[in-house]
């Protein structure tokens, strides 16, 4: 007898009704995804997350009555962000959005361009629900470029360095690749190991560094400049 799997619940928060409706139509074509709510501003997004506890929040960076960064802070304060709570996939119009680094550092699991393809939207939501996080290719390029630039220009913060002391060499390699925006399968291919092994490394490095999720781990990796 087949076992029914729970659907991934999603709340869409964007101040443009046409964007919310377009994303809803894309997601609801899939049996494993369920749109459970829509919000037009930051306060409404927080309220829906408190009431519905969705698996994923698709969150516009720029919204009235509390932008995406504010929403991340509110969810973190309420202990609803990441882990067993709601994982957040940010929405942005431009790959050079000035809020990308701040949002990832605040706990967002990834960034999705509003111009992303149908397939990118679906894979991004599923990856975020799994805890892998997701970055649109052009956003990933910007993040990597910023990471490389920071390695050449900034010393490692002492508190960040202390969080990395207990990592093994392989865990540090995995962390660096997480910082580049790679998912578990991509990291496994890069390191020539199994995806299960990568998941184990990620779980251990999250525990050792005190990172809540991959978004925070990615931010730590970028700040650490290759430790």
Residue-level pLDDT at 146:
57
Under 8 Å between Cβ of 203 and 175 = no
For residue 31, which phi and psi values (nearest 5 degrees)?
A: -70, -25
Asked if residue 30 lies in contact with residue 122, where contact means CB atoms within 8 angstroms, the answer is: yes
pLDDT of residue 56: 96
Phi first, then psi, for residue 65 (nearest 5°) are 55, 50
User: Dmax over Cα atoms in the chain, in whole Å?
Assistant: 58
Q: In sequence order, what DSSP letters do the residues of 59-98 get, joined into one string?
A: EESS-SSS-HHHHHHHHHHTT-BSTTSBEEEEEES-TT-T
The CATH number assigned to the domain with range 8-136 reads 3.40.50.2300
**Domain locations in the chain?**
8-136, 154-224
Neighbours of 6 (CB within 10 A): 8
Question: Same fold for the domain at 8-136 and the one at 154-224?
Answer: no
Question: Using CA atoms, how far apart are residues 189 and 171, in angstroms rounded to an integer?
Answer: 15
CATH class of 154-224: mainly alpha
pLDDT score at 140: 61
Measured CA angle at 173 (ends 193, 81), to 5 deg:
95
> What is the torsional sign of CA 99, 130, 186, 115?
negative
The CA distances from residue 145 to 75, 142, 150, 151, in Å, are 29, 5, 9, 10
Taking only the tens of pLDDT, the chain with its 227 residues reads 344 458 999 999 999 999 999 999 999 999 999 999 999 999 999 999 999 999 999 999 888 888 888 899 899 888 898 778 899 999 888 665 567 777 777 888 888 888 888 898 999 999 999 888 777 666 665 665 555 455 544 444 557 777 787 888 888 889 988 887 788 888 989 888 888 889 888 988 988 888 888 878 888 887 775 44
Q: What is the pLDDT of residue 135?
A: 76
Dihedral over Cα of 34, 127, 59, 138: its sign: negative
């Amino acid at each position: 007898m087949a076992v029914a799997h729970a659907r991934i619940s999603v709340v869409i928060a964007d101040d443009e009704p046409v964007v919310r409706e377009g994303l809803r139509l894309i997601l609801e074509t899939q049996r494993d995804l369920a749109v459970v709510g829509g919000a037009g501003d930051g306060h409404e997004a927080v309220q829906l997350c408190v009431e519905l506890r969705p698996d994923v929040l698709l969150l516009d960076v720029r919204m009235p009555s509390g932008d995406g960064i504010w929403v991340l802070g509110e969810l973190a304060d309420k202990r609803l962000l990441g882990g067993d709570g709601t994982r957040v996939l940010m929405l942005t119009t431009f790959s050079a959005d000035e809020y990308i680094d701040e949002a990832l550092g605040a706990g967002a699991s990834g960034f999705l361009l509003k111009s992303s393809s149908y397939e990118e939207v679906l894979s991004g939501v599923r990856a975020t629900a799994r805890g892998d996080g997701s970055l649109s290719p052009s956003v990933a390029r910007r993040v990597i470029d910023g990471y490389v630039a920071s390695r050449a220009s900034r010393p490692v913060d002492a508190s960040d360095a202390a969080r990395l002391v207990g990592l093994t060499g392989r865990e540090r390699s995995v962390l660096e690749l997480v910082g580049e925006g790679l998912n578990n399968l991509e990291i496994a291919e890069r390191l020539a190991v199994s995806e299960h092994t990568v998941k184990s490394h990620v779980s251990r490095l999250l525990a050792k560094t005190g990172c809540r999720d991959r978004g925070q781990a990615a931010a730590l990796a970028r700040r650490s400049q290759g430790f």
